[in-house]
Amino acid sequence: MSGMRLAYDVVDVFTDRPFAGNQLAVVHGADDLTTEQCLAIAQEFGFSETTFPVSEVAGGREYAVRIFTPGQEVPFAGHPTLGTAWVLRDRGRLTGDDVVQQCGAGPVGVRFDGERVELSAVPRDLVGPVPEDLVRDLLRTVGLSHADLAGEVWAAGCGLTFVHLPVSEEAVVRAVPAARPMPELAARLAEVGPLEDLLDAIDVYAVAGAAPRLSVHARVFVPGAGVPEDPATGSSAAGLGMALVASGLLPEGGSYDIAQGIEMGRPSRLHGRVEAEDGRAVRCHVAGQVRPVATGEIAVP
């Protein structure tokens, strides 16, 4: 494929205006690229994620995609799911309002509803409450102390699993990106309970309001995947719904609006919704808007 060039689109996800939200590059015609080539392109863009959808779309409704951070391939991610679906529909390749994305974590439903795109995912990992000694070390990793804690800490995810750290509103602002990956903390988390999809990532969040509708201010740090801080994280938002149910803040399910990326100058808005049965999340939904920013061609590495 030497000398070839591939078309791409850049969109901003979880925002109602360009140059905010989370950037995503969608690279087309990359079916024959190796993992190393995909990773090189993801590093070239330098966004939190870059996606590579396959050329074939079955019936205008089902497609497969590979998702890369600058550091690795990941089985699932939120803003790449919504952004890729939006781009494929904008290019006329997706024709239905309800479509299915096949990715490393399995099938993910995506629904178009007016200006919003919404993903639906099934819970996979839930471990907690995390023991106090480990919570202290997790807080320390992001520059906070036990005095900042505001609830139970859970590890939860629907294909990518994050540690969800509830703190005060003031502590969210004061938190700092984790300086380095946390393999030792990840090993200790695995001792708390079985985790299939643990990512080296921490979601620091503060909650306002009461069930069944909450407001959340979040910051997400992903040092292990080469993303010091992420401006909008749909996969974390999905897992947060699980944590909110498990910790008793949304015991019967409900909705939660997340403000993220403010401290980075990329304000984002994510709309979460979680269904619950018997005090446990059974389905997580995350919605947002997408705005186009650029199109072009990129050389094949």
pLDDT digits (tens, 9 = 90+) for 215-258: 999 999 998 777 899 999 999 999 999 999 999 999 999 999 99
Domain check: are 202 and 227 in the same one?
yes
Query: How remote is the C-alpha of 88 from its chain's centroid?
Result: 19
CATH number, position 193: 3.10.310.10
Domain check: are 143 and 267 in the same one?
yes
Domain check: are 60 and 132 in the same one?
no
Domain check: are 164 and 82 in the same one?
no
Structure tokens at 62: 């089902």
103 exposed, middle or buried (CB, 10 Å; 0-12, 13-18, 19+)? buried
Please compute, for residue 249, the number of CA atoms within 13 A of its CA located in the half-sphere on the CB side: 25
Domain check: are 115 and 133 in the same one?
no
Q: Above 60 in pLDDT, residue 2?
A: no
Domain count, the chain: 2
Confidence (pLDDT) at 221: 95
Domain check: are 150 and 219 in the same one?
yes
Contact by Cβ (8 Å): 170, 212: no
Phi, psi of 276 (to 5 degrees): -135, 150
Q: Give the model's confidence band at 182: pLDDT under 50 very low, under 70 low, under 90 confident, else very high.
A: confident
Domain check: are 279 and 131 in the same one?
yes
Whether 297 is a known active-site residue: answer no
Q: Give the model's confidence band at 1: pLDDT under 50 very low, under 70 low, under 90 confident, else very high.
A: low
Confidence (pLDDT) at 146: 97
Catalytic residue among 36, 44, 49, 275: 49
Identify the domain containing residue 239 by its residue range.
125-284
Do strands 73-74 and 62-68 pair parallel, antiparallel, or not at all (unpaired)? antiparallel
